[in-house]
Homo-oligomer: A and B are copies of this chain.
């Protein structure tokens, strides 16, 4: 079977590197018969992990040697000059050179943003790319953007995020008219800072979207909107605070269920239910944040992703390739903002 599309995988990124990213990629090749991949990283680290492959998989797999790896603590702005031999740089370059349709990396987020923007460039009429990911809701999930790529956003940027997020949900989730909400500290028209108030007017006037107005922090998880727009500073803090409280709850559970034999037995009996809930809410199950607004598909995996989670990031890349997402965003942004 011949491959129809190619994904460049930065196999060196993340906390575990090739021993996680390569098995996950091989597994994806089995799941997607039309997929071929370029494994980008140090040849010596990759080759030992490519044994016992079926010829059907092996023929859709290519190694691109990169001598260096961008460390998780590298200063993003310096990677343009210093990172050219890195697996991340070369993975993105493959997308720019049209040798791959998407790039997936679990490496340094800041570096991926900076290099993504430098190598792939933003789409016409898009000032800045945004990071988007899903958050769980009562009956599914919603997409939130920006999650930290842009710490100071103008109202115009928020408008662009709203359009990009809406196109993404249409394409990937198949929702015809995604409900778009703007994160604010109240639902009333008078609430919020100047930037958010102005953004609300802009989205209403120019967005041509199913805009439902302001939504508050606690609405995020209620499923009121399919797309939630905010600046990267607020989005990052909202998401991380929530995760922090979830961890505190889990910690309180663990210590409460350890007080005495009766409680330990109860914990044992309840454990299948607890893991069921945990799985429903687990951020790693929603692994695969998209960098929207670039002239190419870039997916960021959690650095700590295990094999299964890295697989979800690959799934996201495949979904966006199949939908040709950047071209859809480009058309929509041009139609509305050019």
Known: A185-B237, A218-B240, A270-B266. A192 touches B249 (CB 8 A): no
Q: In this assembly, does A241 line the interface, its C-beta being within 8 Å of a C-beta of chain B? A: yes
Contact B192 A217 (CB under 8 A): no
B-contacting residues, A210-255, CB 8 Å: 216-222, 230, 232-234, 236-249, 251-253
Residues of B close to A276: CB separation below 8 A: 256
Binary flags per residue of A133-149, CB closer than 8 Å to B gives 1, else 0: 00011100000000010
A224 to chain B, nearest CB (A): 10
Q: Which residue of B lies closest to A218 (CB)?
A: B244
Total copies of the chain: 2
Known: A192-B151, A216-B240, A217-B239. A277 touches B249 (CB 8 A): yes
Q: In this assembly, does A323 line the interface, its C-beta being within 8 Å of a C-beta of chain B? A: no
A18 to chain B, nearest CB (A): 27
Contact of A222 among B183, B244, B266, B270 (CB under 8 A): B244
Contact A136 B248 (CB under 8 A): yes
Residues of B close to A154: CB separation below 8 A: none
Q: Please measure, in the bound complex, the distance between the C-alpha atom of A221 and the C-alpha atom of B297, giving whole angstroms.
A: 35
Q: In this assembly, does A30 line the interface, its C-beta being within 8 Å of a C-beta of chain B? A: no
Residues of B close to A248: CB separation below 8 A: 136-138, 221-222, 281
Q: Which of A136, A237, A247, A276 has the most CB of B within 10 A?
A: A237
Q: Please measure, in the bound complex, the distance between the C-alpha atom of A137 and the C-alpha atom of B248, giving whole angstroms.
A: 7
Contact A236 B185 (CB under 8 A): yes
Q: Which residue of B lies closest to A240 (CB)?
A: B217
Chain A interface bracket (under 10, 10 to 19, 20 to 34, 35 or more): 35 or more
Contact of A185 among B217, B233, B257, B280 (CB under 8 A): B233
Residues of B close to A152: CB separation below 8 A: 193-194
Known: A75-B190, A266-B273. A252 touches B237 (CB 8 A): no
Known: A233-B193, A256-B276. A185 touches B238 (CB 8 A): no
Q: In this assembly, does A98 line the interface, its C-beta being within 8 Å of a C-beta of chain B? A: no
Residues of B close to A75: CB separation below 8 A: 190
Contact of A247 among B192, B194, B221, B251 (CB under 8 A): B221
Q: Please measure, in the bound complex, the distance between the C-alpha atom of A152 and the C-alpha atom of B138, giving whole angstroms.
A: 32
Residues of B close to A256: CB separation below 8 A: 273, 276-277
Q: Please measure, in the bound complex, the distance between the C-alpha atom of A244 and the C-alpha atom of B281, giving whole angstroms.
A: 13
B-contacting residues, A267-303, CB 8 Å: 269-270, 273, 276-277, 280-281
Q: Please measure, in the bound complex, the distance between the C-alpha atom of A234 and the C-alpha atom of B230, giving whole angstroms.
A: 11
Q: In this assembly, does A263 line the interface, its C-beta being within 8 Å of a C-beta of chain B? A: yes
Q: List 8 A-B contacts (CB under 8 A).
A: A136-B248, A151-B193, A218-B240, A221-B244, A246-B249, A248-B281, A263-B273, A266-B266
Known pairs A218-B243, A241-B241, A256-B276. 17 more at Cβ < 8 A? Answer: A137-B248, A185-B236, A216-B237, A216-B240, A218-B241, A221-B245, A237-B238, A239-B241, A242-B242, A242-B244, A243-B245, A248-B281, A252-B280, A256-B273, A256-B277, A257-B273, A266-B269
Chain A residues engaging chain B, CB cutoff 8 angstroms? 75, 136-138, 148, 151-152, 183, 185, 190-194, 196, 216-222, 230, 232-234, 236-249, 251-253, 256-257, 263, 266, 269-270, 273, 276-277, 280-281
